[in-house]
A and B are shown apart, each in its own frame.
Chain A
Amino acid sequence: MRYLPLGPDDRAQMLGVVGAKSVDELFKDIPEKARIKGLLDLPPHQGELQVERALSAMAAKNRAAGAGPSFLGAGSYRHHIPSAVDHLIQRSEFLTSYTPYQPEVAQGTLQFLFEFQTQVAMLSGMEVANASMYEGGSSCAEAVLMAGRLTNRPRAILSGALHPHYRDTVRTFTQFSPIKPESGEPVIDGKEDLAAKLGPDVACVVVQTPDFFGNLHDYTQLGAACRAAGALLIVVVTEVVSLGALKSPGQMGADIFAGEGQSLGVGLNFGGPYVGLFATKKQYLRQMPGRLCGETTDADGRRAYVLTLSTREQHIRREKATSNICTNSGLCALAFGIHVSLLGEEGIRRLAKLNHAAAVQLADALAGLKGVKVRNKTFFNEFTVELPRSATEVVEKMVGQGVLAGVPVQRLYRDRPDLANLLLVAASETNTDADRAAFVAGLKKVLA
């Protein structure tokens, strides 16, 4: 077996040193009835070629998003990833190292985490960011739990335009905790009065921009209302490229930013692994979940980095930890960091402009079709379209036209037949004029 260096002679010699007659003697603590006799009913080992053939056949049954025009978003976005990203993250020193428990031999990981924290703080406009969470939804849920700890209040008000998976993850994470989320009706047009729901028992208000339906918001006033009421404002961003064009959560006065970083450096991957972003104000640092990397010096006085403030974490605090999170999303954070490094200030701004322009062009083209209505007044690179019939059916038929046309809103709102005709459509720098033309032509045909 190619991954197992020991041979029969090695094993015999080693058993001799151990003083065991057979390897099974080493497993004698396992109760007899729990031991497997012989082999389990699974295929035997295979060479690279055979495994590659089998898995490639499975992969070939999927339509890769990039195999044709694709306009899906809803929290997961297809962007061009510079070639340098995947090359660098596959360096052995990054790929095959672990959590930097021994900082003297992990400065590579620690330095990129420090840079990642800086980049996330800058993009979100917040003071401090952590070294990543699993992904956006659980990052949002952790933000709500943190707000509960900070305020000791029982209510979390969720915007009706928060991504439904985020809403559901918050519900799951909080179901056995003192803080209870309340979410209203889906808000298609972006108009809801969240400030009216504030009260002395509200821990936080969770909002999203661009919201699930694509609308943009300035939450500055809501933030002020939250402060007046002693509640925290949590701002979620699921499309991090938008921060290259839009007022940041920090600029709106957010107390906690929770987001998804997949758009930069990390591919679609059928939903994971992604990279959760989490940032807050300095004053809330000690209640923050997740790992933090800090700057310090070594015994020779040279600048060095180290995991810090770990007294918040489970391996020290156990049941009193701020979160049970242990492993985060290191390699995806690295991919994010490299992509952001390549873009730089100018690149992220230009990328954001390209995305917005691509979406405006698409929205204009679709709005010209009979019976098709763009519902948004504002949007970044994603908007909601109202079709004359079921979006689910239209999307299925569009597959026949070679186009992945978007995400039917009802896929995430199963019990809302009134939303059946709504389609979420996203555009990015990867879409060409030909892609847009194919979408419009295909839709015309399908709706005819």
Chain B
Amino acid sequence: MKPDTTSGNRGLDLEEPLLFELSRPGRTGVDLPEAAKVASHLGGLDREGSIGLAGVSEPEVIRHFVRISRNNYSIDANLYPLGSCTMKHNPRLNEKMARLPGFGDVHPLQPESTVQGALELIHTLGHWLKTLTGMPAVAMPPAAGAHGELCGMMAIRAAHEAKGDTKRTRVLIPESAHGTNPATAAQCGFTVDPIPGNDRGRVDLAAVRAKLGPDVAGIMLTNPNTLGLFENDVIQVAEAIHSVGGYFYADGANFNAIVGKARPGDMGVDAIHINLHKTFSTPHGGGGPGSGPVAFSKALAPYAPLPMILEDGGRFHLIEHRGDKGEPGEKSFGRMRTYNGQMGMFVRALSYMMSHGSDGLRQVAEDAVLSANYIMASCKDDLTSPYPGPCMHEALFDDRFLEGTGVTTLDFAKAMIDEGYHPMTVYFPLVVHGAMLTEPTETESKESVDRFIHVLRTLARRAKSGDAQFFKNAPRYSPRRRVDETAAARNPILRWTPPAPKAQAAE
């Protein structure tokens, strides 16, 4: 609630204006020397007029960002049950390793002889990814999951076209898929053919078979799927798609549920992206940077993007150009970014993998799945689930338990904020009414999960008791209360602009 204090502050919660409103002429947060006098080579293209940037000293900058940071929820502060996003603990060793000058301060175009350790690290991470997915090849360049999807689907299209098969225009995508799947397929020039789910929350195998044809390029299937369920017909789906010459793209967003327990390579998968920021715990940073390497089957491996890394007798080589016939990279679909990939994320992910080892990674999947099932089972008397368990790493609830209460999923989510929790993912997947996709991850203690369950159950009972207003008013204790999204979209204000100079007041 808006505090009644003179300052607008509320104890430790300090209001902070925009940086530009702190600006005073002549202030700066750096001390730079005077530049040497030289003859300008700018060709008269000097920038004229003020850029408009704020002038602020270092202490003010520190306070500014510290104060605004305090308005954020974070996994370091509490359980962050955002389903499909996998908010797990981010070990600080990984941060330290990524900042070693031998990784963090290396230019991407240094001579190969000076970056052998960097190439070795990427190659080693690739080995772990290949082993964990059971796939023979891996492409490291993609900068995020969606970029990885683009990588996989481009390889699929390139593979078809290499065979002279240009008639494959259709991609099958379950209705429950992440929005990135259809968006990616469209970006690769495919049309999207949605596949309905069955009453068990899985893709309908009969529907897949019915949609097969010579114009099908492939299928994009998330597994475990976005409902937190394992697609138990996965092998039959793969066989079906292969039987008409299509390829199987797996969205690996939920790989954290099966790491060390099962391998996509044994399920007939041709391409799968791995979100290093999900399964391998590189920090989410308020929305990136991510990293989305793609593991490929033998059939698609030749089409992988550039650059590639080759090992030859303990020396590592960076293949940056499409090779001539018979050379590596000959059939590559090309380059999809500048330079070599998300090195900073690679170091963190490998540090995480080495810390867990093969035994720890299997435990990661087991504990993540156990915790989600524990939440689902513990809440069964108070919340409703659209599909029976066991689930994988996410417990999915729908809004049937709120029927007739006047409380919506959104209201329920906002009430969780007052209880000190970031809400779960809400209204996704779209195929479940009022969905609440809840992912505790393996890094929560039982006590932490128990406290969370207690809050969920208590709120559910409160909603059913007829106290809708309590939910409509939430959140009350967050740095801001419900924000007006409609106004933001109707009249977009996307940057600060200096206030118009005030008319001279009469003195």
Listed by A's residue number, 7 A-B pairs whose Cβ atoms lie within 8 Å are A96-B90, A107-B71, A267-B104, A308-B485, A326-B179, A343-B29, A346-B26
Mark interface residues in B11-38 (1 if CB within 8 Å of A CB, else 0).
0000010111001001111101111111
Nearest CB of B to A74, in Å: 6
Known: A104-B414, A138-B336. A51 touches B263 (CB 8 A): no
Indicate whether B184 reaches chain A with its CB closer than 8 angstroms.
yes
- Report yes or no: A6 in contact with B47, Cβ–Cβ below 8 A: no
- Report yes or no: A93 in contact with B70, Cβ–Cβ below 8 A: yes
Taking CB atoms and an 8 Å cut-off, the chain B residues in 470-492 that contact chain A are 475, 478-485, 487-489, 492
Known: A92-B76, A102-B73, A246-B45. A269 touches B378 (CB 8 A): no
Given contacts A46-B354, A298-B481, 19 further A-B contacts (CB under 8 A): A5-B445, A23-B369, A47-B355, A55-B121, A59-B97, A62-B114, A89-B285, A107-B71, A108-B68, A132-B288, A135-B339, A248-B51, A271-B340, A306-B483, A306-B488, A324-B184, A327-B146, A331-B288, A347-B30
Mark interface residues in B346-363 (1 if CB within 8 Å of A CB, else 0).
010011011111111111
- Report yes or no: B41 in contact with A379, Cβ–Cβ below 8 A: yes
- Report yes or no: B358 in contact with A39, Cβ–Cβ below 8 A: yes
Indicate whether B432 reaches chain A with its CB closer than 8 angstroms.
no
Indicate whether A435 reaches chain B with its CB closer than 8 angstroms.
no
Chain B residues within an 8 Å CB radius of A401 = none
The answer, among B48, B64, B147, B341, for a CB contact under 8 Å with A138, is B147
Indicate whether A227 reaches chain B with its CB closer than 8 angstroms.
no
Taking CB atoms and an 8 Å cut-off, the chain A residues in 173-193 that contact chain B are 173, 175-177
The answer, among B46, B186, B485, B496, for a CB contact under 8 Å with A118, is B496
Mark interface residues in A252-276 (1 if CB within 8 Å of B CB, else 0).
0000000010000001111111110
Q: Across the two chains, which residue of chain B brings its CB closest to A47?
A: B355
User: In the bound complex, how far is the Cα of B377 from the Cα of A17, in angstroms?
Assistant: 7
Chain B residues within an 8 Å CB radius of A407 = 109
Indicate whether A197 reaches chain B with its CB closer than 8 angstroms.
no
Taking CB atoms and an 8 Å cut-off, the chain A residues in 95-149 that contact chain B are 95-109, 111-115, 117-119, 121-123, 128-129, 131-132, 134-138, 145
- Report yes or no: B287 in contact with A99, Cβ–Cβ below 8 A: yes
- Report yes or no: A296 in contact with B357, Cβ–Cβ below 8 A: no
Q: List the count of A-B residue pairs having beta carbons below 8 Å apart.
A: 717
Chain B residues within an 8 Å CB radius of A10 = 445-446
- Report yes or no: B144 in contact with A72, Cβ–Cβ below 8 A: no
- Report yes or no: A244 in contact with B147, Cβ–Cβ below 8 A: no
Most B Cβ at <10 Å: residue of A248, A325, A344: A344
Taking CB atoms and an 8 Å cut-off, the chain B residues in 307-364 that contact chain A are 320-321, 333-345, 347, 350-351, 353-364
Chain B residues within an 8 Å CB radius of A348 = 51, 53
- Report yes or no: A97 in contact with B284, Cβ–Cβ below 8 A: yes
Indicate whether B500 reaches chain A with its CB closer than 8 angstroms.
no
- Report yes or no: A299 in contact with B263, Cβ–Cβ below 8 A: no
Known: A40-B260, A399-B113. A356 touches B100 (CB 8 A): no
- Report yes or no: B417 in contact with A293, Cβ–Cβ below 8 A: no
Chain B residues within an 8 Å CB radius of A196 = none
